[in-house]
Structure 1
């Protein structure tokens, strides 16, 4: 994580707070996750050199950049954002910082990104009512998916696909913005 300058992924007015271990506002009622949460999610995913990773909830691209470092030059991170302004800003920052192995897409993240599936790892940076089936379907076997689940009381869930089986492990309580879309929350 020390190879990704977090201050580059937050608005100017919160840059002095970039290295506090707390979520920070990035506009459009969205946040950048606390560094410790990014680390917890990356550790649960166990991203390896050469992995193909899907991220849902790009924000300004910080978590995608961290995962890109873990996936290495032979890996790739596809990241999906639903808010056009955030997607554009993320593309700009990631490009400026040389994260050429991160590809940003504007679409409903609850549907995943089937064009490039299957994925070795999937990371979701917003809380869903349940694990969206399209994401499970797009996960490679073996593969790992990490997602916060719940409306008010959320649990970080690790979903592993192994030998055709789905194994779900509760990694503890979390607080994320809601995942909106066809397979997410509606009406927020």
Structure 2
């Protein structure tokens, strides 16, 4: 007779799988093994509740991305590791979701700590409140509020964590984070998202690590733009508001011009991540964006990007270059060579710049840039490469 795994067995299997890929601190691992994810996903079967995948809890009737979801458990664990919660901490979470993350935070900060979670959607806040109560975490505060406002009533906070994609750090969060406090958030810039751990030192936030991730963007920030390069929107460029993108000129170069290829000396394995190229390019270059190419465009003859739905690119005026690959060489561990596809009169120059970033990354694939963030009105402007947003300025330096 076959054995049906219990929730506890499935939970431990999931955490075993996560820790095999990424060791966790003992505190985070214990919290992940203690909190029942299924309690925050009522009605979902146990194998799905304990799979390492996101679960939508509220659809978005006006767009392709959900309004709210339960994050991928391995990403939850990674961000909790970045947060470094200590017993007795006062914690603010922006994005209540299912209440699962708030329950984990309550375990980590213990009976002497406090956890407040906010959500802009009343249905989501009610779901979190209901599941937290049912799971025995009725002491966690759940507030229906725009997360960009924070929660000044219970500030200052030793730890703040956002579980939605954030393009800019609002001044309210600066005011509510204690000096020496830690903020972990999925920060969006130049078409990418990274979970960045930041520590406050006066009026400066300094990074202590960045990890690749993806999150639904927060409601209320509009610093990101999307430009379609053709009427059918088969190719789109995602960029920041401070970047000028001439969609019509780029479209003409891409759809009627010749593609030229430039190749780096860098090779990768089939499962090797190369997102570090994108990350480190933003430390030097304001032309970095994200290219999205549909299957229809590929069928029409556009050179295939290395990842069609999210590919780093450089753009300037009527020219662009983006990341491509090919199978090259005899090394079975690194069979793919990385390069750049160029379109437009200045595309070759952009491609050579991208190849330079590729080879620099290839020489040191684990290096992570340092990020420094200051309020937008700061008098002492950083001397390194700075990305200016509405309420903050971001310096990325290798």
| Alignment check: 8 A CA contact 1:159 1:167 kept | yes
SS in 2 for 1:2: helix
| CA distance, structure 1, for counterparts of residue 51 and residue 93 of structure 2 | 23
TM-score normalised by the chain length of structure 1: 0.91
What is the aligned partner in structure 2 of residue 144 from structure 1? 182
| Alignment check: 8 A CA contact 2:38 2:44 kept | no
The unaligned stretches of length 5 or more in structure 2 are 1-31, 60-65, 225-398
Written as runs of structure 1 = structure 2, the 5 A alignment for 1:9-48 is 9-13=40-44, 15-28=46-59, 29=66, 30-48=68-86
| CA distance, structure 2, for counterparts of residue 134 and residue 61 of structure 1 | 23
Written as runs of structure 1 = structure 2, the 5 A alignment for 1:51-66 is 51-66=89-104
| Alignment check: 8 A CA contact 1:112 1:135 kept | yes
| Alignment check: 8 A CA contact 1:155 1:170 kept | no
What is the aligned partner in structure 1 of residue 165 from structure 2? 127
Deviations 1:38-87 (A, max 9, x none): 11111111001110000000011000100110000111110001111111
| CA distance, structure 2, for counterparts of residue 101 and residue 71 of structure 1 | 12
* Paired residues, number: 186
State the shift of 1:165 in Å: 3.7
What is the aligned partner in structure 2 of residue 159 from structure 1? 198
SS in 2 for 1:161: strand
Larger RCO of the pair (alpha carbons < 8 Å, separation 6+): 1
The unaligned stretches of length 5 or more in structure 1 are none
State the shift of 1:176 in Å: 0.2
Coordinate RMSD, CA, aligned: 2.0
Asked if residue 108 in structure 1 is aligned to residue 146 in structure 2, the reply is yes
| CA distance, structure 2, for counterparts of residue 15 and residue 185 of structure 1 | 37
Q: Which has the larger radius of gyration?
A: 2
TM-score normalised by the chain length of structure 2: 0.44
